[in-house]
């Protein structure tokens, strides 16, 4: 019987943690459809958070590559006074990057909903 109470406690704790993170993420980033993303990314800082090999394989035209693994060292390359448009392969890295940037005072943070894998617009790749 004790095992059941422990299991219920763990499930409740995990659910609260997920809810807490989701509410923080909602305040940190605005998800945009591809159409909305296309409307604004040329007037913003477009950041591809994927690793260099992924970036070289194809990226949105005009994007700058700042891999999520280097965000702590390179976040100052991103201006806090301009909109920041983030994307990665499927939105998980961009969500983490948005939370990181929000903690450092960035306010205009947008994310491509569904990530690069759903992008149908123009891309550039290394030859």
Tens digit of pLDDT for each residue in 9-40?
A: 888 877 775 555 555 555 668 999 999 999 99
What domains sit in the chain, N to C, each tagged with a CATH number? 2-124 (3.40.250.10)
Q: What is the largest CA-CA distance in the chain?
A: 62
What is the predicted pLDDT for the residue at 81? 96
- Catalytic (active-site) positions: 88
Quote the CA–CA distance of 86 and 54 in Å, as a whole number: 15
CA angle 23, 69, 51 (to 5 degrees): 110
- The whole-model pTM stands at 0.80
C-alpha separations of 87 from 11, 27, 39, 111, 115 in Å: 31, 17, 15, 6, 6
Rg over CA atoms, the chain:
17
């Amino acid at each position: 019987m004790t095992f059941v109470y422990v299991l219920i406690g763990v499930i409740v704790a995990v659910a609260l943690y997920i809810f807490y993170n989701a509410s923080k993420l909602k305040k940190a980033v605005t998800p945009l459809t591809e159409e909305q993303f296309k409307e604004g990314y040329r007037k913003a800082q477009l950041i591809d958070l994927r690793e260099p090999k992924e970036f070289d394989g194809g990226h949105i035209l005009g994007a700058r590559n700042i891999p999520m693994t280097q965000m702590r060292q390179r976040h100052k390359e991103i201006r806090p006074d301009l909109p920041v448009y983030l994307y990665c392969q499927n939105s998980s890295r961009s969500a983490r990057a948005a939370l990181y940037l929000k903690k450092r005072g960035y306010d205009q943070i947008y994310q491509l909903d569904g990530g690069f894998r759903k992008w149908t617009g123009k891309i550039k790749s290394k030859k």
